[in-house]
């Protein structure tokens, strides 16, 4: 078995003491009930995976306007908060630690998937060149309403309130989703942000919304319980920029000055359509490390050997594992022991019910074992 001296060593990240550097990355599973209320099924799902050093729960909308897809959960109503409390209690009872990823999809939305009366919004009135799966099939994303300055301030407030709601629901902290072509990423990228005010223009102006959201969330729940996720150089949901290196250097340096508990970046292998905006292949982890001096989580395509290598070389402090956790609820133990991994069934990634969600078994040797 490979040397995993660092992968399975403890780490302090902000206010949390992690027993290992193995993180369950956030993954949309589309298992929520009506009105964005998580189902009890999700308590079983996350508790099954509590042996991870840390769980970052799925992207969760901060408001009705923040929803873009079917059956995704929210964290902005009392019913949603109460349902999430059942889930966090189950994870904590199983000995785990869990954060909630805060999400606003911006222009990547469709009215069939949102609550009545809510709008599709973005930094500018430019539609994303994507189609959205809805109850009546695939439909083009509509042109969004361009947020006014007052509406931007209100949205920043929505992020802060969602963070407070997450703490009320029993989460150990939050992660701001600022990648993958959703609202914050739309502000970052020049082709989605044509604003001429303080939230547009150069890379610093387009990063302002990201920084303000981070500041507001940290003020609400503490910097030591706030992480941020970016997808540097990736192409997803129609975003692009003429100079992504300058953009993300600026954005990440600004986050470094704010000092959140960690930064989470996604390798290009799993970001969007697996293409890059850079002229040559970019090592996203190393690029991010050049500009961020705090705790860094990297995710995407890692196995046990490559994960340990990234840790040993100082490229990362934590490793996020996404799809391997779908079919391997005891993934941390399997990695530590060098055991074979089960393969997830792609057809059930986003379907309703328990199949492909809570029916992947843990290995017998994992029973009562803490990885």
Instruction: Establish whether 182 is a catalytic residue.
Output: yes
Q: What is the pLDDT of residue 279?
A: 44
Q: What is the pLDDT of residue 272?
A: 45
Is pLDDT of 4 > 80?
Answer: no
pLDDT band at 366 (very low <50, low <70, confident <90, very high): very low
As given in the structure block, the two tokens for residue 331 are 């993934």
Which residue among 182, 199, 262, 302 is the active-site one? 182
Place of tokens 């992660």: 175
Q: What is the pLDDT of residue 277?
A: 53
What pTM does this model have? 0.95
Q: What is the pLDDT of residue 213?
A: 99
Is pLDDT of 249 > 50?
Answer: yes
Nearest to 152 by CA among 118, 121, 193: 121
Q: What is the pLDDT of residue 283?
A: 92
Domains detected in the chain: 11-326 (3.20.20.70)
Q: What is the pLDDT of residue 268?
A: 80
Is pLDDT of 93 > 60?
Answer: yes
């Amino acid at each position: 078995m490979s040397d995993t001296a660092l992968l399975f060593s403890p780490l302090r990240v902000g206010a949390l003491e992690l027993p290992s550097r193995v993180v369950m990355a956030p993954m949309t599973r589309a298992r929520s009930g009506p009105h964005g209320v998580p189902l009890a099924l999700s308590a079983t799902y996350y508790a099954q995976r509590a042996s991870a050093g840390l769980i970052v729960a799925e992207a969760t909308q901060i408001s009705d306007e923040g929803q873009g897809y079917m059956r995704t959960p929210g964290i902005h109503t009392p019913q949603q908060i109460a349902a999430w409390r059942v889930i966090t209690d189950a994870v904590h009872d199983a000995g785990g630690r869990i954060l909630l990823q805060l999400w606003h999809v911006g222009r990547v939305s469709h009215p069939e998937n949102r609550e009545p009366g809510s709008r599709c919004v973005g930094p500018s009135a430019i539609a994303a060149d994507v189609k959205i799966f809805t109850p009546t099939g695939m439909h083009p994303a509509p042109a969004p309403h361009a947020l006014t300055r007052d509406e931007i301030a209100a949205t920043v407030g929505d992020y802060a309130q969602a963070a407070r709601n997450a703490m009320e629901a029993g989460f150990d902290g939050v992660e701001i989703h600022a990648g993958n072509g959703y609202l914050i990423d739309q502000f970052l990228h020049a082709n989605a942000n044509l604003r001429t005010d303080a939230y547009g223009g150069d890379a610093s102006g387009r990063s302002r919304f990201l920084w303000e959201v981070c500041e507001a969330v940290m003020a609400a729940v503490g910097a030591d319980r706030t992480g941020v996720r970016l997808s540097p150089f990736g192409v997803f949901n129609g975003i692009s920029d003429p100079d992504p290196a300058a953009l993300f250097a600026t954005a990440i340096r600004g986050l470094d000055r704010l000092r959140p508990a960690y930064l989470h970046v996604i390798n290009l292998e799993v970001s969007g359509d697996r293409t890059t905006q850079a002229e040559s292949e970019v090592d996203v982890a190393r690029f991010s490390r050049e500009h961020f001096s705090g705790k860094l989580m990297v995710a995407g395509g890692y196995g046990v050997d490559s994960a340990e290598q990234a840790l040993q070389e100082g490229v990362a402090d934590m490793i996020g594992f996404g799809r391997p956790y779908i079919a391997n609820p005891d993934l941390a133990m399997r990695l530590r022991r060098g055991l074979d991994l089960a393969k997830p069934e792609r057809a059930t990634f986003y379907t309703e019910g328990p199949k492909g969600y809570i029916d992947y078994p843990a290995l017998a040797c994992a029973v009562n074992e803490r990885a």
